[in-house]
Amino acid sequence: MPSNVPPPSFRDLLANCNRSAVHLEMRDAYAVDYEKGPFADWRAGHRHEPNDRASWWRPWLDLVAETVGRGVTMRRARIVSEPVSEYIRYEHSGTFTNVAAGEQVRWLPRRQASDIALPGNDFWLFDGQLVQWNHFAGDGSSQGPELAEDPAAMKLCSAAFEAVWGRAVPHDEYEIR
């Protein structure tokens, strides 16, 4: 992409997606504000009530539902250490919302990923043709995305995702350990 052209928004990336959007997450924690926000609420005991959709539906879920409604398959795989971190417990407790919006989600214990060649960063792969790397600092704060159209990167990401997906446990079957 020319440097003078602003990168597309994530919404635009999904809007231009025709077949598939896959996301691999490999961290045990992302930037967390322990004092306020959804994670703090969860730590204080708040849990989403599956039957009270209005209380947990949010713009991200609208975007997922729109994308899946156009026939795009959205899959997310999470590689996690066991026993899981507090943050992964939090993610797991709210993942039913992603599933309700149409996203498929699976979990793979890190020990079962030891022999899979994995990229160095979390990523999204759109239609197998465009990679968005998600860069994070050591504290889990986002360092911004980076787009790549390198065929070798796309091949690595596709192979890694499919290997993880093939071994991973569907969300509704994965038990937190």
So where are the chain's domains? Answer: 10-173
Q: CA 124 to CA 135: how far, in whole Å?
A: 12
- What is the Cα–Cα distance from 29 to 129, expressed in whole angstroms? 28
pLDDT reported for residue 3: 59
Is the domain covering 10-173 a CATH 3.30.870.10 domain? Answer: yes
The span from the CA of 98 to the CA of 134, in Å, is 19
Give the pLDDT of residue 4: 67
Q: Residue 18 and residue 56: Cα distance in Å, rounded?
A: 27
Residues of the chain with pLDDT under 70: 1-4
Q: What is the pTM of this model?
A: 0.94
How far is Cα 51 from Cα 105, in angstroms, rounded to an integer?
20
Residue 109's nearest CA partner among 160, 157, 174, 22 is 174
**CB–CB of 67/14 below 8 Å?**
yes
The predicted structure's pLDDT at residue 6? 82
Q: What is the pLDDT of residue 8?
A: 94
What's phi and psi for 15, nearest 5 deg?
Answer: -65, -30
